[in-house]
Amino acid sequence: MEHTLLEPAISNPALTPGIRVLLEPEVANAAELCQRVQINTGSRRIAADRDDDARYAGGIFVPADNWARPTAQELALLAANGTAGTDPPSRTIRLFPIPQYLYRLAWDVGIDAILSQPPPGPQAADPLLAAFCAEAARLMRIVYAPATSLTLQLRNPELASTTYDTDAGTAIGLHVDNFDRHAIDRRHQSRSRVVVNLGTEPRSLVFINLDVMQLVDACNLARSVEVFERYRWAYPLAQLFMATHPDYPVVRLQLHPGEGYLASTQNFIHDGYTVGMAAPDLTLHAVPQADPERG
């Protein structure tokens, strides 16, 4: 399914400097970022799939579905410089390709059968996927870093949120990851996440381009130990920001099949997004044991 950018472009004067996107040369020229990015006019609250969990009783936030091309000024704010030390890893989304042989291997081992299974789909321990996962893990060791977890996630098309809390029985919407649970002032030291698109169509990462310390400031919270500890689980901080800043734009970054991103998802608001897709969304997820020097 071919995806095209919407017209006309919209202007979001609220967009401020923060998280940036770095395209590896094998993916696209930096000047082509405009072909991968769309921006909307903010987030909206919707009811959770179930509201018997106190964390989601007030609803979840998803992007407004009014995407358009960013302006030249907005692109300048989102494009990483690429010069070492200019954009630290904790504030950079790195878009990279995986080798074509690995993408083909995913299908050679029977992913077409996996796609016929209902979500949430199998984990990487399934025998059918052993060969693929072993090769994917080898690639992570060589190219990036050893991974503590390597899983496959299958989601339906046309979802405004692909992140699902199985215990609560609901999608959780735009959120900040919490697997290291660092205090807010140490989130820039958290491990990153690798997500690779193994499906047959482009899929999207949606995010708000502010790190968690910028969220603290935007919500007029004190930079204090008490606040940093209170939001050690960062989901309430993300919800507070979107409730008080519903018009702050959300960015949509497109990943083609065989492409992935490396990002400090414990440091900014984000989610997966399959609206506009016709085929199921299949992704590989990995969490490095340790990142290169954080910043």
Q: What string of DSSP letters covers 188-223?
A: GGS--EEEEE-SSS-EEEEEEEEEHHHHHHHTT---
3-state secondary structure of 124: coil
In contact, 126 and 138? CB cutoff 8 Å: no
In contact, 46 and 118? CB cutoff 8 Å: no
Residue (of 89, 94, 293, 95) closest to 211 by Cα position: 89
Parse the chain into domains and list their residue ranges: 20-288
What per-residue confidence (pLDDT) applies to 143? 58
The two tokens of residue 276 are 């506009």
3-state secondary structure of 104: helix
What per-residue confidence (pLDDT) applies to 25? 79
- CA dist 31 and 79 (Å) reads 9
Q: What is the fold of 20-288? A: Jelly Rolls (2.60.120)
> Low-confidence residues of the chain, pLDDT below 50?
1-13, 121, 124, 292-293, 295
What per-residue confidence (pLDDT) applies to 6? 37
What per-residue confidence (pLDDT) applies to 92? 94
What per-residue confidence (pLDDT) applies to 242? 97
The per-residue pLDDT for range 191-226, each reduced to its tens digit, is 999 999 999 999 999 999 999 999 999 999 999 999
